Amino acid sequence: MFKSKKIMIGLACISLSIMLLSGCGKHPKKEMIEAYQEMTKSNAVSFKITVPKFSMETTTEANEQAKAYSSIINTQLKAVKVTGETLKSGNKEQANMDIEFYGQKIPFEVKTTDKKGYLSLKSLQKVFDIATTFKPDLKNQVDTTSLKIISTKYLMLDLKNGATASKNSKKVAEIINSSMKSYVNQLDEKRFKEKDDIISITFTKSDMKKIVVDVSKKLSKEKNLGIEKISGREFDKDTKELKKFNLKVQYNKKKKVWTVYNDAKAEASQEGIFNYELKYVFTPKNSKNIEIKLPSKENSLTDSEATVLIEKIMSSPRLSDDDFNKLLEKVKENKASINEESKTSILKEYKAYLTEAQYNQLATALK
């Protein structure tokens, strides 16, 4: 929808602003400052992201297929939910996340230190399981044994430039945080509302424009970051299709929970009109019992090792159900003329191309 490279930076800043605002933005209120300070010290943050509202209205020029897809998307996106938590323990960090849709959960897990990183590959098995519900023949096109093995492993991440990347990330966070604080501090107190122990403030597209322009200006001065400055005119031009963009940020003083509602409307000349609301809930806490265990060497894979396993998974051709049924029928028809030596040879020849269940069926048919 948005074609400019620069606006991607702006939108990234907006996304970061959502996260930061959910913990640092309300300096006109003493409670907010204290809540922010508490959050910065927390070593665990649980989160949940949902889509309370979503609608996609196709244009009159859209074909029937596009209209049918829009109806499916409207229904399914509302059922999407992302839950997880981030943990810190010394120099170790861990992020766990579950993406839920179609009644299924896809798990993601990352563990890092100053020098090492590990990505859990357990999601591969789940993605495959979900895919086979739509296309059952996939079971015959992969080596499921190798898939099960790789799904229990972790992929070692290359963090050779980790120190530099970490330093740059911290610098970006500092600049965004500083810009956010400055902007929020100068806001009119009347924009902050309090009701039933919940403090709230709503940021509009106009607010985001000022924040993004200011942040990009400061980031562009950091030569090693390679980020370009975004002018107000560029922001307007590149977000002209974004007709509405509101962020309502709430802090529940009793429950110590941050909630962010992102209500937006976008119009695309070809695709249609998109209306959506994203809901983010963050719960910071401190725990003395956080222990992050890094994977053992035996349970970790390098890029090359993972590549070999993946190639093995994908290069193992399997007989389709139709082809297997034809083979089974042929064996049954000619069973009387197949001697013991031929039976052994057939089982050996086809073993690599059959699932365990198919192999057992063939062995039974040959008895």
User: What does DSSP say about strands 104-112 and 193-195: parallel, antiparallel, or unpaired?
Assistant: unpaired
> Which is nearest to 202 in space by CA: 119, 157, 262, 277?
262
Helix (H) or strand (E) holding 165: helix 162-185
Helix (H) or strand (E) holding 309: helix 303-314
The model's pLDDT over 273-303, given as tens digits with 9 standing for 90+, comes to 888 899 999 999 888 889 999 999 999 999 8
State the pLDDT at residue 23. Answer: 43
State the pLDDT at residue 35. Answer: 73
- CB count within 10 Å of CB 282 equals 22
State the pLDDT at residue 160. Answer: 62
The model's pLDDT over 304-341, given as tens digits with 9 standing for 90+, comes to 888 888 877 776 566 777 788 888 888 888 888 888 88
> Which is nearest to 211 in space by CA: 8, 10, 1?
10
Distances from the Cα of 165 to the Cα of 7, 72, 162, 172, 188, angstroms: 22, 40, 5, 10, 37
> Which is nearest to 277 in space by CA: 291, 266, 292?
266
Asked if pLDDT for residue 196 goes beyond 60, the answer is yes
State the pLDDT at residue 32. Answer: 64
Q: Calculate mean pLDDT across residues 238-258.
A: 90
Band (pLDDT 50/70/90 cuts) for residue 2 is very low
Asked if pLDDT for residue 210 goes beyond 60, the answer is yes
> Which is nearest to 245 in space by CA: 5, 9, 10, 6?
10
Between CA 39 and CA 285 the distance in angstroms is 7
The model's pLDDT over 34-88, given as tens digits with 9 standing for 90+, comes to 676 677 778 899 999 998 888 877 766 555 666 677 667 777 777 889 999 999 9
Say if CB 84 and CB 97 are below 8 A apart. yes
CA–CA–CA angle 256, 259, 263 (5° rounding): 170
Helix (H) or strand (E) holding 272: strand 272-285
Between CA 333 and CA 319 the distance in angstroms is 19
Paired residues of 285 in beta bridges: 44
> Which is nearest to 220 in space by CA: 13, 21, 14?
13
Query: For the chain, what percent of residues have pLDDT higher than 90?
Result: 25
Asked if pLDDT for residue 30 goes beyond 70, the answer is no
pTM of structure:
0.73
State the pLDDT at residue 3. Answer: 44
State the pLDDT at residue 314. Answer: 73
Query: For the chain, what percent of residues have pLDDT higher than 70?
Result: 81
Between CA 166 and CA 160 the distance in angstroms is 11
Q: Residue 102: left (phi > 0), alpha (psi -120 to 50), or beta?
A: left
State the pLDDT at residue 122. Answer: 93
The more confident residue out of 152 and 146 is 152
> Which is nearest to 199 in space by CA: 189, 213, 208?
189
